[in-house]
Amino acid sequence: MATYQRHSHHRNYGCRLREFVLKDFRAVTLQNEKIVVTILVDKGADVYEFLYKPKDVDFLWKSSVGLRSMKSYQPTIPGKGGNFLDFYEGGWQEMFPWGGHASVYRGAETGLHGEVALARWDYEVNVDTPEQVQITCAVRTLRSPFLLKKTFTLYRNRADLQINEVVSNESEQQMEVVWGHHPAYGWPFLDVSCVIDLPLCKVKTLASLDKGGRLAEHSEGAWPSFGLRDGGNVDLSKVPGPEIRSHDIAFLSGFKEGWYALRNQSQAVGIGLAWDASIFPWIWYYQVFRGAPDYPFWGEEYLISLEVATSMGLKFSDAISNGTARVIPGGASVSSEMWACVFEGNRPVTRVSGRGVEF
């Protein structure tokens, strides 16, 4: 391409980024010709937006609570499990170092999904060129001795987001963690035409989350067929409509490779996630189909969350007791690479990786 100007900052072509303030949160938008990714640096480095430009589709669910400033809203009483749900705008959160419901670990009280999702992160711009944009976000936890760094990268003409992370235990103490990613998918991308593709795996349930659960409790099976609480079976790879009015979580494991794809067949578009299954050997398949009649959803929400995690359990203490909590020795670090890839078409996906989506 011919060059008609010498500078490339403040550009409106190729890869570019914008730094701005949204609802009192510092935010950074990374975009290229195909996707727009907005990161809330001041709120957990949440991925607030993951928009595919050619079809004007944002894959991530937006809650009825929405994004609200923590400065202008103060809860009248602290939540027993922390304030995660008071400020849960949807999108994609990091669960660390104590994913799941509130527990107590070695004297530290742990709120829902850990410390970092409500924290203000630092960040720096590493690369800002038409061919590539990259930022690194970092946070030190307060009640645990960790430094977490997360690097987001977009490349020109690729509908893929690369995420590289390093978790460092800065103490001499061996620590147990539940670490995971919490992307929630919602309407208008999510509807009854959606299907989930993933490798062969096992499915396990614990106790129902509430009276609106449809899946059999304390059961095990093979993906995708699974037993219902009232008898019969359901194909978990098919997303039902909101008339189901159910609220469940299932835990998937045993896959040889870490990947899944969520396809909307009516819109012929989907998103895939690829990760290292040796780091995250579990998927938490959380389902809210206008169920959950009480706080925080009040029977009004329609979403699924396919959360990759190190461990299994409704609470952090569950993961310790069942032996799935990941151990990070004192002074040690753990690295991870993840890709989120957008694709078009209705063919079943056979694999997702850093090279893209395979059919």
> Which tens digit of pLDDT belongs to each residue from 283-315?
999 999 999 999 999 999 999 999 999 999 999
Tens-digit pLDDT profile for residues 93-136: 999 999 999 989 999 998 999 999 999 999 999 999 999 999 99
| C-alpha–C-alpha distance, residues 61 and 91, integer Å | 6
| C-alpha–C-alpha distance, residues 285 and 212, integer Å | 16
Inform me whether the pLDDT recorded for 2 exceeds 70: no
Q: Please give the full DSSP string across 187-224, using - where no structure is assigned.
A: TTT-STTEEEE--S-EEE--S-SSTT--BPTT-EEESS
220 φψ region: left (φ > 0), alpha (ψ -120 to 50), beta (else): beta
User: Rg of the Cα trace of the chain?
Assistant: 20
**Is the separation of the CB atoms in 246 and 213 below 8 Å?**
yes
Q: Is 81 buried (19+), middle (13-18) or exposed (0-12) by CB count in 10 A?
A: middle
Which of 164, 160, 140 lies closest to 150 in space, CA to CA?
A: 164
In the beta sheet, which residues pair with residue 115? none
Q: Give the confidence band of 76 by pLDDT, cuts at 50, 70, 90.
A: confident
Report the amino acid identity of residue 7: H
Inform me whether the pLDDT recorded for 251 exceeds 60: yes
**Is the separation of the CB atoms in 334 and 279 below 8 Å?**
yes
Domains by residue range for the chain, with CATH:
16-358 (2.70.98.10)
Instruction: Give residue 1's pLDDT.
Output: 55
**Is the separation of the CB atoms in 19 and 9 below 8 Å?**
no
Instruction: Give residue 343's pLDDT.
Output: 98
Which of 156, 138, 95, 46 lies closest to 313 in space, CA to CA?
A: 95
Tens-digit pLDDT profile for residues 129-173: 999 999 999 999 999 999 999 999 999 999 999 999 999 999 999
Q: Please give the full DSSP string across 216-239, using - where no structure is assigned.
A: PTT-EEESSEEEBTTSSEEETTB-
- Is pLDDT larger for residue 35 or for residue 76? 35
Q: How many CB atoms lie within 10 A of CB 20?
A: 10
pTM for this prediction: 0.96
Q: Give the confidence band of 196 by pLDDT, cuts at 50, 70, 90.
A: very high
Q: Give the confidence band of 189 by pLDDT, cuts at 50, 70, 90.
A: very high
Cis peptide before 224 (omega within 30 of 0): yes
Mean pLDDT across the stretch 241-264? 97
CB-based contacts of 66-75 (< 8 A; 24+ apart in sequence): 67/22, 67/23, 67/25, 67/40, 67/43, 68/23, 69/23, 69/24, 69/25, 70/24, 70/43, 70/118, 71/24, 72/24
DSSP-based three-state secondary structure for 53: helix
Mean of the per-residue pLDDT values of the chain: 95
Q: Give the confidence band of 71 by pLDDT, cuts at 50, 70, 90.
A: confident
DSSP-based three-state secondary structure for 318: helix
Cis peptide before 240 (omega within 30 of 0): no
**Is the separation of the CB atoms in 348 and 197 below 8 Å?**
yes
Mean pLDDT across the stretch 2-20? 86
Mean pLDDT across the stretch 336-349? 97
Tens-digit pLDDT profile for residues 201-245: 999 999 999 999 999 999 999 999 999 999 999 999 999 999 999
DSSP-based three-state secondary structure for 118: helix
**What is the four-CA torsion angle of 278, 355, 305, 179, rounded to 10 degrees?**
30
